[in-house]
Amino acid sequence: MLLDDPQEPQDTQGTPLLVVISFADHYPQQMPSAVLVPPPGGEKIKHPYSVMSIDGRIQVECLSFLRGVVRPYSLLDMLLAISEQFELEYPLVGANYVPPTATASDLLSAQSAELSDMDPARQSLVQEAAERVVIDVNQKASKYLDMREQALLYLQKLNESNRELQRAKEILTEHQDELQEYLPSVGNVSSLVRQLDGHEDTVEEHANCLVPADPLQARALELLAEIHAADDTLALLEEGLKRELMTCDDYVKNVSDVGREQFVSRHLYLKVSDKLGKTSSGAAATTPVSTPPPGQSPRSPPEVPQRLAPTEALRMEFPSADVDVIRDVLASVEGDLTIARQQLKMMFP
């Protein structure tokens, strides 16, 4: 392809320009290539050149005329684009041409001069495009800064959470070390199994495991067993009433008897507990020496409270009644506390 540009001021002789455009076998999938062939003589290809390398290869996709043109480019579009580019900037220079070292200010002045040489419509279009590019860059930069600020906040929260997790991990490690001391070893479990072999799984066998240290503790254990037994009895009586296994009168009579016995047991248990507390506090305050101090007698064992007699129980419940009257009432009902209590309530409301 020959392009003749006689109006170029640097081409006074009207040197023809030879451009070779090659279409590959895979066209239009593969872009065609364009190469400027250096003419014979003293001229050479200008370097640096905006859209062409020193060997004459033209970057077709960088031509300003082809911007916005849908690919694949036609031959006519390529010829027009190359012609326009060579009109704007002639590609050949003399043999003694030395490229100037342009500074940044020179480039800016050259660009401003180039813009001033443009027609007003194109200059307005370029300025509008530049403004839109600046606006778009500012918007993207603003979004980037906001995202970076949020990322810093999230990073700070993650660091705080990491520190809290590290502290919690240290606490758990300390607790784990403490619990390791209470884990049974294989030897302890084996010894426990050997000790349990030969013992029957009965209530009596389990009761033998509790060995009180003194009579007072034995009495407290007995009273506590009576209290729990009374609770179980009351539950069974309620279940029997629901299933209609007894009448209401029988239920009331039995509940009254069991409740009275449980009341007495609780009363005695509280007294025993008080004495046990005093005994334990006194034992903790004394010295570990087994012999008593001189001039003092050995400590006597604590008294064990006994179950109240029917007469004493009714006397505590009816303090205004005479003892002889209570005895006569008990004798008339053959010692039945429930009936005696009902009669005394009628006599001493």
Q: What's the domain range around 72? A: 18-93
Q: What pLDDT sits at residue 274?
A: 86
In-domain check, residue 268:
yes
17-22/33-37 β-pairing: antiparallel
Q: Last residue of a domain, which of 93, 114, 146?
A: 93
Mean pLDDT calculated for residue range 23-44:
80
Domain boundary among 182, 198, 224: 182
Q: Give the tokens for residue 259.
A: 């409740």
| Domain-located, residue 68 | yes
Helices (H) and strands (E) in the chain, counts: 10, 6
Residues 273 and 230 both lie in one domain? yes
- Does residue 134 lie in a domain region? yes
pLDDT of residue 116: 60
| 110 domain residue, yes or no | no
CA-to-CA distance for 12 and 6, rounded, in angstroms? 7
276 and 315 housed in the same domain: no
Backbone angles phi, psi at 185, to 5 degrees: -85, 170
Question: pLDDT confidence of 290, banded at 50, 70, 90?
Answer: very low
Domain identity same for 128 and 178: yes
Query: Is the pLDDT score of 98 beyond 80?
Result: no
pLDDT band at 292 (very low <50, low <70, confident <90, very high): very low
For residue 61, is it within any domain? yes
Q: How far apart are CA 212 and CA 222, in angstroms?
A: 10
Measured between alpha carbons, how far is 62 from 52 in angstroms, rounded to an integer? 9
pLDDT at 104 over 70: no
Comparing 43-52, 107-116, 179-188, the range with the smallest average pLDDT is: 107-116
Report cis status (omega within 30 of 0) of the bond before 91. no
Asked if residue 307 has pLDDT above 70, the reply is no
Domain annotation covers residue 163? yes
* The token pair that represents 294 in the structure block: 């001189």
Please give the pLDDT value at position 89.
83
Return the DSSP state at 49: B
Residues 256 and 314 in one domain: no
User: Do 25 and 68 belong together in one domain?
Assistant: yes
Quick: pLDDT tens for 268-287. Answer: 989 888 888 776 665 544 43
Question: Which range is least confidently modeled, 7-11, 59-63, 148-152, 167-171?
Answer: 7-11
89 and 23 belong to one structural domain: yes
Segment 151-168, tens digit of pLDDT = 999 999 999 999 999 999
Q: pLDDT digit string (tens) for 180-237?
A: 877 766 566 667 677 667 677 776 776 677 777 788 888 888 888 899 999 999 999 9
pLDDT, position 112: 61
Residue 187, domain member (yes or no): no
Compute the distance between CA of residue 247 and CA of residue 242 in angstroms, rounded to an integer: 10
Mean pLDDT in residue range 242-255: 89
Whether 300 is in a domain gets the answer no
Q: How far is CA 282 from CA 221, 278, 285, in A?
A: 21, 6, 5
- Give the pLDDT score at 114: 60
Considering its fold, how many domains does the chain have in total? 4
DSSP assignments along 86-131, one per residue: HHHS-SEE-TT-------HHHHHHHHHHHHHHS-HHHHHHHHHHHH
